[in-house]
Amino acid sequence: MDRLPTIEDVARAAQVSRQTVSNVLNTPAIVKPATRKRVEVAIRKLAYRPHASARRLRMRKSSTIAIRLDPMTNGISGALLDRFLHALTEQADARGIRVLLFTAADPAAEIEQIRKLRAGADVDAFVLTATFHGDPRTEWLVENDVPFVTFGRPWGANDMNNPRHLWVDVDGFAGMREATVHLIDQGSSRIGFVGWPSLSGTGDDRRRGWQAAVEERLAPGDGDLAALNLSVEDRLEDARDAVMALLESDDRIDGLVCASDTLALGAMIAAASVGRSELPIIGFDNSPVGQAIGLSSVDQTLDEVAGGALELLLGETGGDLVHRDADAGDTRHRLITPHLVIRQPLRLLAPDAGSTPTATKNAVGNHKDGKESQ
Amino acid sequence: MDRLPTIEDVARAAQVSRQTVSNVLNTPAIVKPATRKRVEVAIRKLAYRPHASARRLRMRKSSTIAIRLDPMTNGISGALLDRFLHALTEQADARGIRVLLFTAADPAAEIEQIRKLRAGADVDAFVLTATFHGDPRTEWLVENDVPFVTFGRPWGANDMNNPRHLWVDVDGFAGMREATVHLIDQGSSRIGFVGWPSLSGTGDDRRRGWQAAVEERLAPGDGDLAALNLSVEDRLEDARDAVMALLESDDRIDGLVCASDTLALGAMIAAASVGRSELPIIGFDNSPVGQAIGLSSVDQTLDEVAGGALELLLGETGGDLVHRDADAGDTRHRLITPHLVIRQPLRLLAPDAGSTPTATKNAVGNHKDGKESQ
DNA sequence: ACTCAAGATTTGAACGATCAAACTTTTGAA
DNA sequence: TTCAAAAGTTTGATCGTTCAAATCTTGAGT
C-alpha cells in the first residue's frame, strides 16, 4: 500500500461501513461495544489517522490557531515570546489544536497576513501579542468578526471591557508589589524603581505595584517616591547609567526593583561598578539570561497565560473554536498572578571565593558527547 | 453571503467555468488574456482565496512543514532557535509554505509527534534542529521515507554522506578562524579558546578553527595550544571560573575566542574581575544579550540557513515538496559561512566616562506611548 | 405473535478544489 | 472552402471525511 490508509480501508478491515468507523472516532457512545472493539483493532492494525485536510474541509473549521513571530526579540527579555510559544503549542496540542506561525513587519502587514490566512480558511483564530494603546489590529479583528485573544490588556479605556476582545495578561501590579514587599521583609527600607518612560500600559502597571508596596509598608515622605523612581528606555546601558547616577547621589538606597530583566541587569552592573554588589535587585520576566546570572525576578507563569488564552478561545471544554458572543461577562479575560523567584546572584566583580573551577585544560581524551549547540 | 466565496462563485461572476478560474490561478498561461482579465476582476471583487484544505485534499500535499520548539532555550544563546524560526517562517511564506509548531520532551516523543503529523497528512516535511551524534530521529525519518532537513550536520561518520539526509549547517571552523585571525590582526599574539568538553561535533569544529588560525599565523610552540585550550560546560559560572584561573596563571594572554556567547560572557566577567576589562573577547552566536552588552561575536546568518534548508527541501524553484531521490550529490547540503560582528564592548566595571545618562527622574508628564513589553 | 420506538448501521450527498478527458472554437495551410 | 491541429473551455470524477436521511435490528409492551 503506497498511500495512507483511509477510513474506507479501516471499514473494510473491520467489516463495517465508513460511517461506523467515523462514529467510533467521533461519537463512540453510539456504537455497539462489540463493533467498536472490532473497529478499534482495525484502526490500530492499519495505523490509521484521519486525513486532517479532508476533515477540515467537511467540518468547515481548521482547528488551527496562528500567532505572529515578532521580527526581532528585544534584547534580554526577548525569549519571553519564545517561552510563551512553547507553552501555547504544548497546551494547544493537548486540545487537538495546531499552531501556525506567520511573520509581519508591522501591524498593517500583520492584518494583511491575518486576512490571507482567514480567507484561505487555514486558521480559525489568532493569538496576538504585544498589544499597545490604540492597537489597529484588535479593532480590525473585532470589526471583521475574526476570533482572537490577546496576550496583553487592551490599554485603551474603551477597549478594556469590550466583550468581543478576549485577553489574558500578567498582573504586573501584583508581581512588582510582591517583589517590593519581599525586599522590605528582608530589611530594605529605601527601594528604588527602574521602569520605562510611559504613562499608560505595562510599565506603569508595574510601577504602581512598587508604589503601593512602598506606601503601605514604608510610609515614605513626600517627594521620596519621585526621587526613587527612574524612567529609562529598555536598554542595558541606559539603565546602568541611570542607576549609577542614582546610587551615587543617594547612598541610603538599599534595594531596587525593575520593570524588566534588561533594566535589572543594567542595575546590577551599575551597582557592581560603584562597589555595591550586595545591593538586592529584582527584575521582571525571569529571562534565561537572568537565570544564568542569578538574578531574582518576577516570573510570568506562561503556562497559565497560554492555558488561559486557549480557554477563552475554545471554552473550558476544549471543544469548538466557535464564535462565543453572548457569554458571561467575566469570562472574557484572565489576569494571571506572577510569582517571585529568588536567586543567589552571581557576583560580577570579585572572584567567587567558594567555587571550584570545573575546567579541564586540553580536554583531549574526554569522549563525552556534549550538547551540539548550534 | 455568510460563507467564504468559492471557486464556483467566482466562475459565476466571471461567466466561465470552475476549471477556468482554477486555470487562471494555477496556469494562467493557457487562458486567453481577455478571459483571464475577466476572471481576475471577479476574484478581486469577491476577495476570493482558494480554500486551503480543499486544495490540499485534492493535491495530496499540505504545503506545510513542521518544526519542533525546544522545551527550554538554554541560557544566553537560547534565542538562536527563535531567530532561525523567524527566518524560516518568513522565507517559507514567500514560497507559499506554512510553518507548523510542535513540542516534544525528548527524541522518542518527537518521533511520535512526527508520526502523528505525517499520518494525518498534516505536514509534508520536517525541519530538525540540534542534531547530535547517533541521532535516532534522522535514522527513523530516513527509514520511514519522511522528507526532512536538519539544521546541524549529522556528526556520525556514516551519516555525513547519506544522500537521504539533507542538512544545512554553519561553518564553525571558518567562523572561529576568522574571529581568531581578526584578533591577531589587531595585535593579539597569545589567544585562548574557551569551548565545550566533547570530542565530536559543533564544539570541536569551532575549536579547530581557532587552532588553525593560531598555527598558521602565530606558529605556537608545542604544548602552547594545549595550555590555551579550555573546556567547560556551556554555563556562565563555569566559564567565568575557568577563565579567571587561566588569566591568573598566565598574564601574557591578550585575546580570547569562545564557542558561545554564554562562555564569552563568563569570560568577560572573569576578565573584568581580574582587572583586565580591556581584554578582547569574541563569542559565537551573536545573541541578543551579547548585542546588548557590546560583545563581538560570530553571527550565524540564519536567513541563509533558513533559505538553504527550504531550497534543499523544495528545490530552487520553490516548487513542489516532492521526494527528491536521484539528484546530484553535492546539492544535498549547505555549509553556510558565518561572519564576524565587531562591537565596542560595554565596560562592566568602571563608569563609562563618555556616556550621557538618558534617565529622567519621575517621568510623570511624559505621554510617549512606549513599547508595551510583556 | 404484532406493533412501534429506540438503537445500530448503512447509504447518498456535500465540503471546495484539481485532474483527466471531452468538447468547442480558433488558426493556418492546402 | 475545407479540414486537421492547436488553443481554449467545459464536464464528470475524485481526494477523504462528516452530515442527514434511510434502512435494518433489537426489544419491550400489549
Task: Band the pLDDT of A83: cuts 50, 70, 90.
Answer: confident
User: What are the b/e assignments for A270-283, b being 16+ CB within 10 Å?
Assistant: bbbbbeeeebbbbb
For cell 549547517, the residue is B169
Chain A residues within an 8 Å CB radius of B362: 225-227, 229, 231
Which chain A residue's Cα is nearest to B268? A348
As a rounded value in angstroms, the CA-to-C1' distance for A28 and D2 is: 69
Which chain A residue's Cα is nearest to B154? A372
pLDDT at residue B191, as a whole number: 96
Shared-domain flag, residues A210 and A328: no
What's the number of domains chain A is made of? 3
B371 in any annotated domain: no
CA distance A162 to A175: 25
Shared-domain flag, residues A182 and A144: no
Q: Which nucleotide is nearest to A5 (CA to C1')?
A: D16
Shared-domain flag, residues A164 and A306: yes
B231 with A103: Cβ contact below 8 A: no
CATH number assigned to the domain comprising residue B24: 1.10.260.40
Lowest mean pLDDT among A144-153, A212-221, A308-317: A308-317
Strand D CB-contacts below 7 Å: A 3-4, 6-8, 18-19, 22, 25-26, 48-51, 54-55, 57-59; B 15-20, 23, 30-32, 34-36, 54, 57-58, 60
Out of A280, A300, A320, a domain closes at A300
Residues 6+ positions from B293 with CB-CB distance below 8 Å? A236, B265, B268, B345, B346
Q: What is the mean pLDDT of chain A?
A: 85
Of chain A, the end-to-end C-alpha distance in Å amounts to 39
Give tens-digit pLDDT for B157-192.
Answer: 555 667 888 999 999 999 999 999 999 999 999 999
Task: Band the pLDDT of B155: cuts 50, 70, 90.
Answer: confident
Shared-domain flag, residues B306 and B211: no
Task: Band the pLDDT of A358: cuts 50, 70, 90.
Answer: very low
Residue A302's H or E segment, with its range, is helix A302-314
pLDDT at residue B340, as a whole number: 97
Torsion, CA A246, CA A252, CA A254, CA A257, rounded to 10: -40
Of B221 and A147, the one with more pLDDT: A147
pLDDT at residue A109, as a whole number: 94
Which chain A residue's Cα is nearest to B134? A369
CA distances from B94 to A66, B98, B190, B325 (A): 17, 10, 47, 25
A357 with B292: Cβ contact below 8 A: no
User: What are the b/e assignments for B65-82, b being 16+ CB within 10 Å?
Assistant: bbbbbbeebbbbbbbbbb
A320 in any annotated domain: yes
pLDDT beyond 70 at A357: no
Shared-domain flag, residues B226 and B213: yes
What's the average model confidence in pLDDT over B106-110? 93
A55 in any annotated domain: no
Residue A166, min C-alpha distance to chain B (Å): 17
Shared-domain flag, residues A188 and A327: no
Residue A187, min C-alpha distance to chain B (Å): 25
Residues B220 and B252: beta-carbon distance below 8 Å: no
A346 in any annotated domain: no
pLDDT beyond 70 at A362: no
Chain A residues within an 8 Å CB radius of B172: none
CA distance A296 to A342: 5
Strand D, nucleotides covered by protein (CB < 7 Å) = 7-12, 14-21
Alpha helices in B200-287 (DSSP H): 202-218, 224-227, 236-249, 261-273
pLDDT beyond 50 at A45: yes
pLDDT at residue A162, as a whole number: 75
Q: Determine the residue among B53, B55, B132 to mutate to test chain A binding: the one whose Cβ has the most chain A Cβ atoms within 10 Å.
A: B53
Give tens-digit pLDDT for A306-341.
Answer: 999 999 998 754 444 444 444 444 578 999 999 999
The beta strands (E) that lie in chain B are given as 64-68, 98-102, 125-129, 148-151, 166-170, 191-195, 229-231, 255-258, 281-284, 296-299, 333-336, 339-341, 360-361
Of B277 and B21, the one with more pLDDT: B21
Give tens-digit pLDDT for B243-261.
Answer: 999 999 999 999 999 999 9
Chain A residues within an 8 Å CB radius of B204: none
CA distance A356 to A345: 17
Neighbours of B136 (CB within 10 A): 13
Residues of chain A with pLDDT > 70: what percent? 84
B357: which 3 cell numbers?
545618562
Domain of residue B226 covers 173-300
Of B107 and B372, the one with more pLDDT: B107
Displacement of CA A190 from its chain's centroid (Å): 32
User: Could you say which of A131, A244, A357 has the minimum Cβ distance to residue B372?
Assistant: A131
What's the average model confidence in pLDDT over A214-241? 88
Q: How many CA atoms lie within 13 A of B324 on its CB side?
A: 22
Residues B128 and B107: beta-carbon distance below 8 Å: no
Neighbours of A246 (CB within 10 A): 23
Q: Determine the residue among A133, A336, A374 to mutate to test chain B binding: the one whose Cβ has the most chain B Cβ atoms within 10 Å.
A: A374
Taking Cα atoms as reference points, which of A211, A64, A1 lies closest to residue B56? A64
B232 in any annotated domain: yes
Shared-domain flag, residues A74 and A186: no
- Name the residue with the least CA to C1' distance from nucleotide C12: A19
Q: Is the CB of B54 under 7 A from strand C?
A: yes
pLDDT beyond 50 at A203: yes
User: Could you say which of B90, B121, B374 has the minimum Cβ distance to residue A151?
Assistant: B374
pLDDT at residue B31, as a whole number: 95
B342 in any annotated domain: no
Residue A166's H or E segment, with its range, is strand A166-170
CATH number assigned to the domain comprising residue A294: 3.40.50.2300
Residue A280, min C-alpha distance to chain B (Å): 18
Lowest mean pLDDT among A69-78, A245-254, A347-356: A347-356
Residue B140's H or E segment, with its range, is helix B136-143
What's the average model confidence in pLDDT over B288-312? 92
What's the average model confidence in pLDDT over A201-219? 92
Shared-domain flag, residues A314 and A258: no
Q: Which nucleotide is nearest to A120 (CA to C1')?
A: C16
Q: Which nucleotide is nearest to A48 (CA to C1')?
A: D16
What's the average model confidence in pLDDT over B6-30? 96
A121 with B51: Cβ contact below 8 A: yes
Shared-domain flag, residues A236 and A190: yes
Lowest mean pLDDT among A101-110, B51-60, B73-82, B290-299: B73-82
Task: Band the pLDDT of B223: cuts 50, 70, 90.
Answer: confident
A112: which 3 cell numbers?
494583511
Residues A231 and B346: beta-carbon distance below 8 Å: no
Residues of chain B with pLDDT > 90: what percent? 62
Give tens-digit pLDDT for B50-99.
Answer: 999 999 999 999 889 999 998 665 566 667 888 899 999 999 999 989 99
Q: Is the CB of B346 under 7 A from strand C?
A: no
Of B314 and B317, the one with more pLDDT: B314
Shared-domain flag, residues B180 and B239: yes
Give tens-digit pLDDT for B194-211.
Answer: 999 877 688 999 999 999
Residue A257's H or E segment, with its range, is strand A255-258
Task: Band the pLDDT of B359: cuts 50, 70, 90.
Answer: very low
pLDDT at residue A372, as a whole number: 38
Shared-domain flag, residues A322 and A228: no
Strands of A255-258's sheet in order across: A339-341, A296-299, A281-284, A255-258, A191-195, A229-231, B360-361
As a rounded value in angstroms, the CA-to-C1' distance for B199 and D29 is: 83
pLDDT beyond 90 at A123: yes
B86 with A80: Cβ contact below 8 A: no
Q: Which nucleotide is nearest to B17 (CA to C1')?
A: D10
What's the average model confidence in pLDDT over A145-167? 82
Contacts by residues A129-133 (CB-CB < 8 Å, ≥ 24 positions apart): A129/A67, A129/A68, A129/A70, A129/A81, A129/A84, A129/B374, A130/A70, A130/B371, A130/B372, A130/B373, A130/B374, A131/A155, A131/A167, A131/B372, A132/A201, A132/B369, A132/B371, A132/B372, A133/A200, A133/A201, A133/B369, A133/B372
CA distance A17 to B176: 63
pLDDT at residue B362, as a whole number: 39
What's the average model confidence in pLDDT over A87-101? 93
Taking Cα atoms as reference points, which of B70, B125, B100, B56 lies closest to residue A93? B100
Q: Is the CB of B121 under 7 A from strand C?
A: no
A212 in any annotated domain: yes
Residue A371 burial class via C-beta count within 10 angstroms: exposed 0-12, middle 13-18, buried 19 and up: middle
Chain B residues within an 8 Å CB radius of A170: 374
Lowest mean pLDDT among A215-229, B264-278, B353-367: B353-367
pLDDT at residue A355, as a whole number: 37
Shared-domain flag, residues A238 and A197: yes
Q: Determine the residue among A101, A151, A196, A232 to mutate to test chain B binding: the one whose Cβ has the most chain B Cβ atoms within 10 Å.
A: A101
What's the average model confidence in pLDDT over A51-66? 93
* Angle made by CA atoms B210, B215, B219, in degrees to the nearest 5: 140
Residues B348 and B269: beta-carbon distance below 8 Å: yes
What's the average model confidence in pLDDT over B341-360? 57
Q: Is the CB of B3 under 7 A from strand C?
A: yes
pLDDT beyond 50 at B292: yes
B343 in any annotated domain: no
